[in-house]
Amino acid sequence: MDSITQAVLGATLQGALLGRWQGRRALLYGAMLATLPDLDVVIDYGDAVANMTEHRGFSHSLLLLSVLAVPITAAVRRWRPNPAYSSTRLFLAIWLVLITHPLLDAFTGYGTQLFWPLTPPPIAWSSIFIIDPLYTLPLLVAVAAGLWRGLRGRWQWLAYGALGLSSLYLASTLAGKQMAERHVEAELARQGIQAEQLFSTPTPFNSLLWRVIVIDGDDYHEALVGWLDRAPPRLERIPRGGELAALLRHSPQHQRLDWFTHGVLRYDRVDEQLIVTDLRLGMTGFHPFRFVFAERRDGRWQPLAEVDRLPFSRGHPEHLLVLWRRIWNEGQPLSLLAWADELSRPTGVRP
């Protein structure tokens, strides 16, 4: 999730558990501690693929963070002793603030290595967009009220209520994910399509409209499914360029990216470059993680020793407006195929 959400979640947790004694400082301590796992972004792992796939790695390990909570508790007890609350309560607060960070991240589509140093594919429950105001708002209200009125009296009940509301909303996004996948699976069965891989994720900033991606050999299907839809989902068949993946069979970076994304990748030849796109993140046609893996020189494809990431595009604002209208009206005209075609164009070129 975004840094603001992680900070207000940590602040609310620490305020609820220790605010009676630490006062408003508990909000600051919790916010700072909750952002600690994301400090791994300052590490350069060597190239663009490594930087992407190592993020949310060791620093998001439930085991490592649980161990880290012990010396942090001991240090606080030594330098900021307070006999009014127990070491167990202090440890519980610090531990919860730390581990809720990667657990919340795992609900997004990015991929979080909760079990590092073990190496199963990263966890990506992908039930919530990386920025979702409905999840963040109750926590933000609780933190603002605590800064304004202090953490005594009824504030604790407000904090627990905010945590409860956010958690209930998070649970509702899992229901939305199941709804979207069931509708698409039914349509796949009706059309006789055998899915190699299925990935679903909410569209930007909401949990009412879902993108569902179905990997089908050298192509993929993409559909939008909303809570308010009545008709079966429309599957758009889009070229994936899967045959180009064979050119990268000896690339360790491609093997790493394929592992990290569970194979939800697209391959495009753009000019004389082979570009690999992580289809899971962003929205149709506008994905933040696109990499140049090879270049064509003297008639032959040459894999690059150091993979570069293309400049990040947030997409066109008008597409967000179309998606917003699509939530309420399934008849809203839009073409996922046309949007996805943007990926086959040179960087910065629009039709």
Residue 276's nearest CA partner among 264, 267, 287, 284 is 267
Calpha distance 241→8 (Å, rounded): 42
Residue 349, classed as helix, strand or coil, is coil
Calpha distance 237→73 (Å, rounded): 54
Reported as a single tens digit per residue, the pLDDT across 130-172 is: 999 999 999 999 999 999 999 988 999 999 999 999 999 999 9
Calpha distance 248→279 (Å, rounded): 18
Residue showing tokens 């109750």: 138
- What lies within 8 Å, CB to CB, of 179 at 6+ separation is 210, 225, 227
Residue pair 347/268 in contact (Cβ under 8 Å)? The answer is: no
Predicted local confidence at residue 350, as pLDDT:
44
- List beta partners, residue 296: 301
Number of helices (H), then strands (E), belonging to the chain: the values are: 10, 8
Q: Say which residue, 299 or 276, is predicted with more confidence.
A: 276
Predicted local confidence at residue 168, as pLDDT:
98
- List beta partners, residue 209: 226
Residue 349's nearest CA partner among 317, 313, 306 is 313
Predicted local confidence at residue 347, as pLDDT:
65
CA 59 from chain center: how many Å? 16
Whether residue 278 is predicted with pLDDT greater than 50 in this model: the reply is yes
Q: What is the mean pLDDT of residues 232-252?
A: 93
DSSP string of 247-305, one letter each residue: GGTT-HHHHHHHHHHTT-EEEEEETTEEEEEESSSSBTTB-S-EEEEEEEETTEEEEEE
Predicted local confidence at residue 314, as pLDDT:
64
Domain ranges of the chain: 3-125, 177-344
**DSSP assigned state of 112:** B
Q: How many CA atoms lie within 13 A of 132 on its CB side?
A: 27
**DSSP assigned state of 128:** S
Reported as a single tens digit per residue, the pLDDT across 216-236 is: 999 999 999 999 999 999 999
Reported as a single tens digit per residue, the pLDDT across 308-345 is: 999 876 667 888 899 999 999 988 888 888 889 888 88
Whether residue 179 is predicted with pLDDT greater than 70 in this model: the reply is yes
Calpha distance 335→24 (Å, rounded): 50
How high is the mean pLDDT of the chain? 93
Instruction: Out of 29-38, 131-140, 277-286, pick the least confident.
Output: 277-286
Predicted local confidence at residue 316, as pLDDT:
75
Burial class of 145 by CB neighbour count within 10 A (0 to 12, 13 to 18, 19+): middle
Residue pair 303/247 in contact (Cβ under 8 Å)? The answer is: yes
Strands 300-309 and 273-278: unpaired
Q: Does the N-terminal peptide bond of residue 311 adopt cis geometry, omega within 30 degrees of 0?
A: no
- Positive or negative: CA dihedral 222, 53, 9, 107: positive
What one-letter code names the amino acid at 304?
Answer: L
Predicted local confidence at residue 313, as pLDDT:
65
What one-letter code names the amino acid at 91?
Answer: F
Predicted local confidence at residue 152, as pLDDT:
82
209 phi and psi angles, rounded to 5 deg: -125, 130
**pTM summary value:** 0.93
Predicted local confidence at residue 349, as pLDDT:
45
Predicted local confidence at residue 86, as pLDDT:
93
